[in-house]
Structure formats: structure tokens, C-alpha cells
Amino acid sequence: MELGIRGRTALVCAASKGLGKGCAMSLAREGVELVIIARGRESLEATAEEIRKATGTKVTAVAGDITTPEGRAAALAACPSPDILVNNAGGPPPGDFREWTRETWIQALNANMLTPIELIKAVIDPMIERKFGRIVNITSSAVKMPIAELGLSNGARTGLTGFIAGLARKTAMHNVTINNLLPGAMWTDRLRANIEFNAKKSGKSVEEAKRAREATIPAGRFGTPEEFGEYCAYLCSAQAGYLTAQNLLLDGGMVPTTF
Ligand code: NAP
């Protein structure tokens, strides 16, 4: 299926690895010109080169922290008026809410709620004028099925979700869609580190801990960044103009709800 976005431009945040990289690669395969941002310059440059080689598409790498005003300014200077925005940043750490200070909360809210809102604010009016815009926010299955020790993520991402639910209804008539894509357990560095941590704690081998976790997922395995990227690219397609304001799980059936 040709997605009808060849020649469009995209800003893909937190894209040197994992899910952001998966989204960047799938968009590039559709001929979308990219600006990608992450903090570590070396892995970012390597990813940019990998995407260029694989797709022949123009990729600009901007090293910076998307959760800071300086990082956002650098990303927007390289891509002031994208047709597509993929919002993403690292997730907050797990813990016990009794130990979280106001500052801990502000950091989580900044990274996973206010940063995507700031970026949307910066790019949405030109999208509305051009009558084309696609915004995808990478959130988490924890929005639908909260994980107690990830309270910072549950809270911040649900705040973003509520905001998007209102805004998306204001932009739909202009062919500007906004959706949240909710990863379940996807095989990235982040999940790998999480499995290694739990394996150490429980005295299991990493392979054992991985298999045990995979067995809890109806699909019997973790999802891949490539699968995530393909879903994201479809949400950004010309064909997806009627698909907006949704919270879309990609979880191999993990979240046990009817709707
Ligand atoms: P990952 O494999 O660790 O990759 C994270 C990427 O984001 C890296 O490229 C990293 O590069 C970049 N990044 C992190 N913080 C950044 C910042 N402040 N500014 C710019 N770039 C930043 O993580 P992932 O698994 O793809 O997760 C992506 C998001 O999905 C996270 O918010 C995570 O909580 C959420 N999520 C993931 C899963 C899962 O199973 N994987 C499930 C639910 C939710 P640098 O470190 O070099 O900046």
C-alpha cells in the first residue's frame, strides 16, 4: 500500500533507537524527509546513516534533549514546519510515590506531557493552513492498564491523553489528525534493561526472565520496533485522515479489555 506521503517532512523525536527509530525508518521508506533528534550524537548519526542507506531519503540528525527549550528550538530550527510530528522521549523511572518529590513529578510531566504539547503548539497552525498534518504521540499501554510502580508515567501520559482528546476534535476538520500510539511490551533497549534488572533480582537468567514475560502476552512474544514503525507510518498516511483522537494499542493482546 502506497501511503501517499512521499516528499512530506517529519520531525521524529527520540529516534536514535527503539520505537522512535522504528517510526523514522518506516516513514523514510515511504519517502518522507526526516529530522531526527536524540541526545547521544554518535548513535543518532549512526541511525541517520542507516536510514539514508536503507531508503535513500534525506535525514537530518539534530543532537539534543527534546525535553529542554534548547533541544526543541534546535529541532524546530532544522524542521520549522513539519507535515508529520512524532512525539517521543524517554519514560520516567519506576519507584514508590512516597519517594517522589514535586521536582520528580515536574520532570515526568515535562518529558511526557508538556514537551509534546509544546511541540504541537509550535507546528500545528501551519499544518491547519496547509490542510494536512499528522501527529502521533508515543505513550504507553500503561495509559489503559496502569502499572503501579510506573505512577509517574501513568500520571503524565494520562494528562497528555486528556489534552489530546480535546485538541484532536478541533483540528480534524482541517485534515490534521492527532493520535496516541500505545506500546505494550516492545523489544527495545529499554525493555531489555528492564528484563535484565528483573532477572538479577529474581536470580533467573536473562533468557528465562524474557521467556517468562513473553509467556504472559497472548501473542507469545514481544513486539518489534519495526512493527511499531509500520503502524505509525499508517497513522501518518494520506489514507488515515478520518482516524483521529484515538488511543491505539500495539500489544499482542496484552491488555485484557473488551474495548
Ligand atoms: P529506548 O529503546 O530506550 O529508546 C529511547 C530513544 O529515545 C533513544 O533514541 C534515546 O536516545 C532517545 N531519548 C531518550 N530521552 C530523550 C530526550 N530527553 N531527548 C531526546 N531523545 C531522547 O526506548 P523505547 O523502548 O523506544 O521507548 C520509547 C518510549 O516508549 C518511552 O517513553 C517508553 O517509556 C515508552 N514505552 C516503551 C515500551 C516498550 O516496551 N519498549 C512500553 C511502553 C512505553 P538518547 O538516550 O541518546 O537521547
CA of 93 to the centre of ligand 1 (A): 12
Is the pTM higher than 0.75? The answer reads yes
**pLDDT of residue 197 exceeding 90:** no
Residue spans of alpha helices (H) in the chain = 18-29, 41-55, 69-78, 102-109, 115-130, 151-171, 189-202, 206-214, 225-235
Q: What is the pLDDT of residues 209-232, one digit of tens each?
A: 999 999 999 999 999 999 999 999
DSSP class of residue 149?
G
Q: What is the pLDDT of residues 83-118, one digit of tens each?
A: 999 999 999 999 999 999 999 999 999 999 999 999
CA of 43 to the centre of ligand 1 (A): 13
Query: Quick check: CB of 213 below 6 Å from ligand 1?
Result: no
CA of 229 to the centre of ligand 1 (A): 14
Query: Quick check: CB of 190 below 6 Å from ligand 1?
Result: yes
Question: Which are the contacts of 190, defined by CB distance < 8 A and separation ≥ 6?
Answer: 18, 90, 91
The arithmetic mean of pLDDT across residues 175-184, rounded, is 98
Per-chain mean pLDDT for the chain: 97
Q: What is the pLDDT of residues 155-166, one digit of tens each?
A: 999 999 999 999
Query: Quick check: CB of 154 below 6 Å from ligand 1?
Result: no
Looking from the CA of residue 115, the nearest atom of ligand 1 is 18
Query: Quick check: CB of 185 below 6 Å from ligand 1?
Result: yes
Residue 97, SS3 per DSSP: helix
Q: Can you tell me the distance from the alpha carbon of 46 to that of 43, in angstroms, rounded to the nearest whole number?
A: 5
The arithmetic mean of pLDDT across residues 42-59, rounded, is 98
